[in-house]
Amino acid sequence: MSLWYGGDYNPEQWDPAVWKEDVDLMRQAGVNLVTVGVFSWSSLEPAPGEYDFAWLDQVLDLLHDGGVKVDLATPTASPPPWFSRLHPEALPVTADGVRLTHGSRDTYCVCAPAYRDAARGIARALAERYDDHPALAMWHVHNEYGTTCYCTFAAERFRGWLRERYGSLDRLNEAWTTAFWSQRYAEWADIEPPRATQYLVNPTQYLDYRRFWSDELLAAYLDQKAVLREHSAAPITTNFVFGGWVPVNHARWAAEVDVVAIDHYPDHAGIGAEEQTAFGADLARAWAGGKPWLLMEQAAGGLNTGERWHTKEPGRMARHSLSHVARGSRGALFFQWRASRGGAEMYHSAMVPHAGADSARFREVAQLGSVLPRLAEVAGSTVVAEVAILWDAECWWAMQGTHLPSSSLDYLAAVRSAHRHFWHADVTVDFAAPDADLSSYRVVVVPSLYLVSDETAENLAAYVESGGQLVVGYFSGIVDPDVRVRLGGYPGAFAELLGVRVEEFHPLSGEVALASGGRGRVWSEDVEAVSAEVVDRYAGGVLDGKPAVTRRQVGTGTAWYVSTELDDDTAADLVSRLAGAGRSAGGLVETVRRRDGGVTWVFFINHGDADAVVPAVGTELVAGAAVNGELVVPAGGYAVVREA
């Protein structure tokens, strides 16, 4: 097993004379896998049904001769202009009712029959031609499924999905609470997607559209997967993209890909980008069920995320790559191999920048390419984690509705902050699905699990009963899967387990003091400790003296409730109390342990600007040297030790 190294290769943007140089440079850089053809539909099918494969034949042969494997893409994320001319009805419609035009990418609706046919058609043509090409390592269906549409095809499919889910209009009316604001439906045909409307949208309609859209996109992926599978036994995947705009339940999709692949472009400032790298990698590993997954795209250097330009200082690209690999990635791939000369993303960094191969960026790329083969032995191992954080896409979507009691409530921010606290304590965490078997974890953290099913509540209660330490965050357990409040006092589904009862929320605009000396932010609640012990209290303000943090013994376990967003120091105290941890090296060394049978490896990634000394015994793989107790990880550098 080896680690994959490479990126998106878009030869159709270049003169054939460049292709030969590309392959030579790939060899120099240690590249062994490239994704080809993601956006080449108009080059492959210049007119309906007329294919031009000559250039791709040549490219794949060149790559094969150079020892570079191919992750061959179906180009369906960007239909050619002729497709939109012939099928204007397949162009996507925004929630505001604007039909988008050609000129960017992702200008299609997955519900449009003509689009689905055309996508199957080009996938079939590629599969028939390249199923036995020796360079083919993997199929890459589409690109970053996520584009939403609100057209009439989508409306029709949505109604079909709702009929399946609810069976009857009575059941739908109840789930959607349509008695409110006179929304009661008497005909299926009256139901529309949550398009732009006068005021707040129905929360369940909104959530169901996201659930539906995830299923609909998945159906479009499965269409292509079936076509490819008819012709080829190679692994099939698609690159997951993560973001608030993406209605894809990756945890569910993961069952349909042969390897979970993610694109990751951290956009936080400063050390936030490193926290975010670990966050995305840990999520990918959760979707992959703990098994290896693949970082399909990242930026080799700077990029513009719309808000600002993100720089990757020397060494940072390698550390981010290593952090992904440490956390389970089967390699490190980039968007893209060669920086484009023109086009919408021409200033996006690449492995070969505009300056050419005689550049610091390319030298750094080649340097990393020379290191990864020395780490190949970790490829099949799994990450060791004793703490889990719950992740639920549906809860996130529910909290993206416009009905919440405070616009500061933010599911993703709450989960990120929990993850960040453990990252800063250098504790590796897994993300876990609400229905996962949690018994192997010492600690399970549940940030703002607003929407929760009875089954999830039972799963968490059973975890505590049998000895687990559960930490439930504020604004959890409030609604059921229909986004209907669980009556009788918050935190509804968890009130009994936590031994607390809340009658009223107190969203915060600033901070509130805690008796321990800490501070709470974002949110607070009027907590009554019914059968729980009070760990910390609000000090001052309307909740003065009321419980802020509680703890209850249940069976052989403990259930904590944290009713506000804790400041970093107070959260760090809680983390060290729960996980008994703290950064041993003092600085910013990220430590991740991997295991395969009796063999363990430790990754040390030093994000700080001072050398760090870490305890280690074994063989350091990058330098190939024995380590006998202490290892210096240079500032901005990394080391990987196979433990003795």
How many Cβ atoms sit within 10 Å of the Cβ of residue 59? 23
Nearest in space to 387 (alpha carbons), one of 169, 581, 165: 581
Residue closer to ligand GLA, measured from CB, 142 or 607: 142
Helices (H) and strands (E) in the chain, counts: 17, 27
- Among residues 13, 32, 40, 143, the one that binds ligand GLA under rule CB under 6 A: 143
> Which whole-number Å values give the CA distances from 14 to 44, 79, 332, 472, in the listed order?
15, 20, 24, 54
SS3 state at 267: coil
* Closest distance to ligand GLA from the beta carbon of 243 (Å): 10
Tell me the site size for ligand GLA, rule CB under 6 A: 9
Q: Assign 399 to helix, strand or coil.
A: coil
The residue (of 303 and 472) whose beta carbon lies closer to ligand GLA is: 303
Contact by Cβ (8 Å): 141, 228: yes
Task: State the nearest-atom distance from the C-beta of 617 to ligand GLA, in Å.
Answer: 40
The amino acid at 278: A
Q: Report DSSP letters for 70-98, one per residue.
A: EEEEE-TTS--HHHHHH-GGGS-B-TTSP
Helix (H, G, I), strand (E, B) or coil at 606: strand
- Tell the smallest beta-carbon distance from residue 296 to ligand GLA (Å): 8
Distance CA 450, CA 362 (A): 46
Rounded least distance, CB 236 to ligand GLA, Å = 17
Asked whether position 565 contacts ligand GLA by CB under 6 A, the answer is no
Residue 108, φ and ψ in degrees, nearest 5: -160, 165
Given strand 4-9, what is the order of strands in its sheet? 236-237, 136-141, 69-74, 33-36, 4-9, 329-334, 293-297, 261-263, 239-240
> At residue 246, what is the residue type?
V
> Rg (Cα) of the chain, in Å, rounded?
26
SS3 496: helix
Rounded CA-CA distance 256/223 in Å is: 11
Q: How far is the CB of 339 from ligand GLA (least distance, A)?
A: 12
> What is the rounded CA–CA span in Å between residue 570 and residue 622?
38
Report the alpha-carbon angle 212-485-216, nearest 5: 5
Kindly list the distances between the CA atom of residue 375 and the CA atoms of 31, 225, 314, 330, in Å, as whole numbers in the listed order: 15, 32, 21, 11
Nearer to ligand GLA, 303 or 614 (CB): 303
Looking at 45, 297, 496, 590, which residue is catalytic?
297
Q: Residue 297 catalytic?
A: yes
* Residue sitting closest to ligand GLA (CB): 263
Question: What mask of x and - would describe binding to ligand GLA in positions 302 to 331, judged by CB under 6 A?
Answer: -x----------------------------
Query: Which is closer to ligand GLA, CB of 319 or CB of 348?
Result: 348
Q: Among residues 4 and 150, whose Cβ is nearest to ligand GLA?
A: 4
Between 264 and 424, CB nearer to ligand GLA: 264
For ligand GLA, the closer of residues 174 and 345 by Cβ is 345
Binder of ligand GLA out of 213, 242, 335, 604 (CB under 6 A)? 335
Nearer to ligand GLA, 346 or 625 (CB): 346
For ligand GLA, the binding residue among 45, 208, 223, 263 (CB under 6 A) is 263
* Residue nearer to ligand GLA on the CB measure, 89 or 267: 267
Could you tell me the smallest distance in angstroms from the CB atom of residue 268 to ligand GLA? 15
The one among 45, 71, 144, 496 contacting ligand GLA by CB under 6 A: 144
Q: What's the Cα-to-Cα distance from 308 to each of 319, 320, 327, 354, 607, rounded to whole Å?
A: 21, 19, 28, 20, 22
Decide if 213 contacts 145 (C-beta within 8 A): no
Non-local CB neighbours of 249 within 8 Å, separated by 6+ positions: 211, 214, 393, 394
Q: Which of 270, 320, 324 is nearest to 292 (CA)?
A: 324
Q: Output the smallest distance, CB 490 to ligand GLA, in A.
A: 39
Residue whose pair of structure tokens reads 């030869």 in the numeric block? 11
> Does residue number 348 form part of the binding site for ligand GLA (CB under 6 A)?
yes
Closest approach, Cβ 333 to ligand GLA, in A, equals 11
Residue 9 is a binding residue for ligand GLA (CB under 6 A) = no
261 vs 581, beta carbon nearer ligand GLA: 261
Pick between residue 335 and residue 638 the one whose CB is nearest to ligand GLA: 335
- Smallest distance, ligand GLA to C-beta of residue 146, A: 10
Give the footprint of ligand GLA on residues 612-631 (CB under 6 A).
none
Residue 297 contacts ligand GLA per CB under 6 A: yes
Please indicate whether residue 45 is annotated as part of the active site: no
Return the closest-CA partner of residue 190 out of 220, 237, 158, 222: 158
Q: Which helix (H) or strand (E) holds 523?
A: strand 519-529
Distance of closest approach, residue 143 Cβ to ligand GLA, in angstroms: 5
Is 116 near ligand GLA (CB under 6 A)? no
CA dihedral 360, 364, 365, 366 (to 10 degrees): 100
Q: Which is nearer to ligand GLA, 143 or 469 (CB)?
A: 143
Pairwise CA distance, residues 41 & 115, whole Å: 13
Interface residue with ligand GLA, options 265, 279, 397, 450 (CB under 6 A): 265
Exactly one of 45, 144, 275, 620 is catalytic; name it.
Answer: 144
Residue 348 Cβ vs ligand GLA, minimum distance, rounded to whole Å: 5
Q: How far apart are CA 378 and CA 601, in angstroms?
A: 7
Q: What ranges make up the beta strands (E) of 75-193? A: 136-141
Nearest to 287 by CA among 328, 246, 228, 235: 328
- Binder of ligand GLA out of 12, 345, 386, 480 (CB under 6 A): 345
Q: Shortest approach of ligand GLA to residue 23 CB, angstroms?
A: 21
Which of these, 441, 125, 228, 304, lies nearest to 431 by C-alpha position? 441
Q: Please report, as residue ranges, which positions from 491 to 530 form the binding site for ligand GLA (by CB under 6 A).
A: none
Q: What's the length of the chain?
A: 644
Contact 500, 529 (CB under 8 A): yes
Query: Which residues sit at the interface with ligand GLA, rule CB under 6 A?
Result: 143-144, 263, 265, 297, 303, 335, 345, 348
Q: Which residues are catalytic?
A: 144, 297
